[in-house]
Amino acid sequence: MIDLEHHDIKYLPGVGPQRAKVLGDELQIHTLHDLLYTFPYKHIDRTRLYYIHELTGDMPYVQIRGQILSFETEGEGRKRRLVAHFTDGQGLVELVWFNGLKYVTSAYKVRTDYVVFGRPSVFNGRINLVHPDIDPADSLHLNSMGLQPYYNTTEKMKRAGLNSRSLEHFTTTLFEKIDFVIPETLPGYLVSSLHLVSLDEALRHAHYPTCAEDLRKAQFRLKFEELFYIQLNIIRYARDRRQKYRGYVFARVGSLFHEFYERHLPFELTGAQKRVIREIRQDMGCGRQMNRLLQGDVGSGKTLVALMSMLIALDNDFQACIMAPTEILAEQHFGTFRKMLDGLPVRVELLTGTVKGKRRKEVLEGLEHGDVHVLVGTHAVLEDTVVFKSLGMVVIDEQHRFGVAQRARLWKKSGNPPHVLVMTATPIPRTLAMTLYGDLEVSVIDELPPGRKSIQTVHQFDNRRESLYRMMRGQLGEGRQVYVVYPLIKESEKMDIKNLEEGYEQLCRALPEYRISRVHGKMKPAEKEAEMQAFVSGETQILVATTVIEVGVNVPNASVMVIENAERFGLAQLHQLRGRVGRGADQSYCILVTRYQLSADTRKRIQIMTETNDGFEIAEADLKLRGPGDLEGTQQSGLAFNLRLADLARDGQILQLARDTAEKVLDEDPYCAAEKNQVMWKQLEKLRKTLVDWSAIS
């Protein structure tokens, strides 16, 4: 039996050291095992032959059989192409090449039987097959070829002469070499109870299925296994940690909470807020350390939930801390808390990078002695000089802005880890949350405070400025405020800032009666603060900014969000930005300004935005459009693994099965120590070597 995992790919017949290097660099194929697990991205049915007269321009790949009548070169220079007139005796079709002309004319002969495989297209009213695959007809046994695999390749591979066909040859050779049954990697009892196909069969059929059903079964088994081990690992870790660390028990819901609820609350809580507060109370009272993700669309009132949860900590003689990603946001929270808690015996302090000197010393001392009850801050609260007397609860706002490591640091500020509530307005689809966070409980605020009018979103091309200004004037005239946002990315920073500056000047000319703030990433922090502050206080009516305003600012009087170059923003970001308006009781508007020519994807994004205000719907659509790797907000927290086969957007059901199965297995055998689970243990060990620090993730 060959040791697949240690057998270097270069020794596979047909590969050799040079191609092995390319395979390693480009597709991370180093061993036979790697090749085995490099799956085709699609299969094409090669059992059927078409007649040329059946072909139409909108067919997927087809194959036809016949002979080349003649070759001809057409066109000049870069347009030069080689055309072969091909017939099956009844119809005529053109085979076309734009490069490799010499090779083609020497490799293929006229009046010889070939099977031609390609995708029909229409050019000048005639059907073409561009750069088709051609095989001598007598070399193929079409009916036995079944579904042909297609593998991903890269530019570098193509330059080294490696294409999908080469990989097909390699895998064929490999399977010829594997004259034994590939050892099972799931416990036998799971394979049979879940009616999975064996690993051996799954691997063979994932590359070379005999029919579509075989392929489906093979993929199901492999996806299940992939997700199962990830779930097993996360859940095992989470259970382990739960045993090791106990949580503080907040048994009391005491006078502060009650007094706040009865006397200070300026409005009635929404049903969703009440439910979430109840969930949090239960968590913090049960002796387990709380680790809860609070998802709620922008404007759904997460801050209040945070505040009331913190009061429970205070009622139990603990301190609480809330960390926000920007200074402006920290200051806003600080202001809100001070105002709402006015008259209660609670000392709230602010700690950011700009709190210095004597002030800072006072805050730090207060924290250490325990007379500061609630600390509101930015990253600054993570510094080692910040010492709490008894930190019992931590809230992290807009959690996707913080890295995993930063979160872990907050934990360490307390004997037992404090209860943690992370809040985000970036809705993480359930499937992704399940994969990312093993034991993070999830609460959702799925209801907006009453009286909010849903934001009207419209799409406008950027050559229609006048109507845009008219609408802005209308809202400004009613005393409202307006955001105008420009994209800013590192690669095109100079251009982006130029766009913003030009936009700013245009606005100054178009709306001379209003005052305009301007904020972008290149400004000094103090300057930025001042400009923002002017807008927050209402001194200026328009804020022209790059995405620095994306996170959390609350200006209820702002009713228009204009997003320039909207085609350059992702869905999640557009939704976040839109959430800056619609916070008061007035009708608000979001205007997506784009250029005229748009890609299909962009048009889809804009359409979704104009059709729905529901963050979860948008997140699901985003996951489908872009794939989980790109999903905003998960990039920083980082999917700790690459899924080879499973697709979080589509395989939700398999994921659920994998998770349920993992739970069951661990209920029965917490340490995977049973004889029948040995193979599982070995897989887990392997998995763990390839992963980042799981403790930081869950």
Longest C-alpha distance within the chain, in Å?
97
Can residue 299 be called a binding residue for ligand ADP (CB under 6 A)? yes
Question: Using CB distances below 5 to 8 A depending on partner kind, what does residue 270 bind out of Mg ion, ligand ADP, none?
Answer: ligand ADP
Can residue 303 be called a binding residue for ligand ADP (CB under 6 A)? yes
Which helix (H) or strand (E) covers residue 321, if one does? strand 319-323
Shortest CA distance to 330 belongs to which of 350, 300, 316?
Answer: 350
Can residue 425 be called a binding residue for ligand ADP (CB under 6 A)? yes
CA distance 191 to 224: 11
Intra-chain end-to-end CA distance of the chain, in Å? 39
Smallest separation, CB 323 to ligand ADP (Å): 14
CA distance 305 to 284: 14
Phi, then psi, of 356 in degrees rounded to 5: -130, 175
Q: Which is nearer to ligand ADP, 226 or 297 (CB)?
A: 297
CA distance 431 to 427: 11
Among 65, 207, 236, 302, binds ligand ADP (CB under 6 A): 302
Using only C-alpha atoms, the chain has a radius of gyration, in whole angstroms, of 31
Q: Which is nearer to ligand ADP, 11 or 267 (CB)?
A: 267
Question: Using CB distances below 5 to 8 A depending on partner kind, what does residue 696 bind out of Mg ion, ligand ADP, none?
Answer: none
Q: Which is nearer to ligand ADP, 132 or 579 (CB)?
A: 579
Smallest separation, CB 449 to Mg ion (Å): 13
Q: Which is nearer to ligand ADP, 300 or 677 (CB)?
A: 300
CA distance 363 to 359: 6
DSSP one-letter code for 457: E
Specify whether the CB–CB gap between 170 and 15 falls below 8 A: yes
Can residue 269 be called a binding residue for ligand ADP (CB under 6 A)? yes
CA distance 258 to 176: 74
Smallest separation, CB 332 to ligand ADP (Å): 8
Six token digits for residue 158: 């193509």
Can residue 267 be called a binding residue for ligand ADP (CB under 6 A)? yes
Smallest separation, CB 596 to ligand ADP (Å): 34
Q: How many residues does the chain have?
A: 698
Q: Which is nearer to Mg ion, 265 or 495 (CB)?
A: 265
Considering only residues 517 to 556 of the shown chain, the ones binding ligand ADP according to CB under 6 A are 554, 556
Q: Which is nearer to ligand ADP, 95 or 308 (CB)?
A: 308
Other CB atoms within 10 Å distance of the CB of residue 83: 17
Smallest separation, CB 397 to ligand ADP (Å): 7
Can residue 270 be called a binding residue for ligand ADP (CB under 6 A)? yes
Can residue 579 be called a binding residue for Mg ion (CB under 5 A)? no
Can residue 301 be called a binding residue for Mg ion (CB under 5 A)? no
Smallest separation, CB 516 to ligand ADP (Å): 24
Stretch that binds ligand ADP, among 34-42, 103-111, 262-270, 453-461 (CB under 6 A): 262-270
Report helix, strand or coil for 14: coil
CA distance 227 to 245: 27
Among 233, 273, 309, 319, binds ligand ADP (CB under 6 A): 273
Specify whether the CB–CB gap between 128 and 94 falls below 8 A: yes
Q: Which is nearer to Mg ion, 160 or 445 (CB)?
A: 445
Smallest separation, CB 476 to ligand ADP (Å): 21
Q: Which is nearer to ligand ADP, 205 or 302 (CB)?
A: 302
Nearest residue (beta carbon) to ligand ADP: 301
Q: What one-character-per-residue DSSP string does 514-529 give?
A: S-EEEE-TTS-HHHHH
Can residue 325 be called a binding residue for ligand ADP (CB under 6 A)? no
Stretch that binds Mg ion, among 205-213, 412-420, 546-554, 681-689 (CB under 5 A): 546-554
Report helix, strand or coil for 400: helix
Specify whether the CB–CB gap between 198 and 166 falls below 8 A: no
CA 84 to chain centroid, in Å, comes to 46
Can residue 583 be called a binding residue for ligand ADP (CB under 6 A)? yes
Considering only residues 433 to 462 of the shown chain, the ones binding ligand ADP according to CB under 6 A are 449
Smallest separation, CB 653 to ligand ADP (Å): 31
CA distance 678 to 185: 10
Among 247, 299, 552, 633, binds Mg ion (CB under 5 A): 552
Q: In one letter, which amino acid is 17?
A: P
Q: Which is nearer to ligand ADP, 270 or 316 (CB)?
A: 270
Q: Which is nearer to ligand ADP, 31 or 300 (CB)?
A: 300
Sign of CA dihedral 496, 497, 503, 506: negative
Smallest separation, CB 398 to ligand ADP (Å): 8
Q: How far is CA 70 from CA 75, 82, 119, in A?
A: 17, 11, 21
Sign of CA dihedral 194, 690, 244, 310: negative
Stretch that binds ligand ADP, among 141-149, 232-240, 265-273, 375-383 (CB under 6 A): 265-273
Specify whether the CB–CB gap between 81 and 98 falls below 8 A: yes
Q: Which residues lie near ligand ADP (CB under 6 A)?
A: 267, 269-270, 273, 296, 298-304, 425, 449, 554, 556, 583
Q: Which residues lie near Mg ion (CB under 5 A)?
A: 552
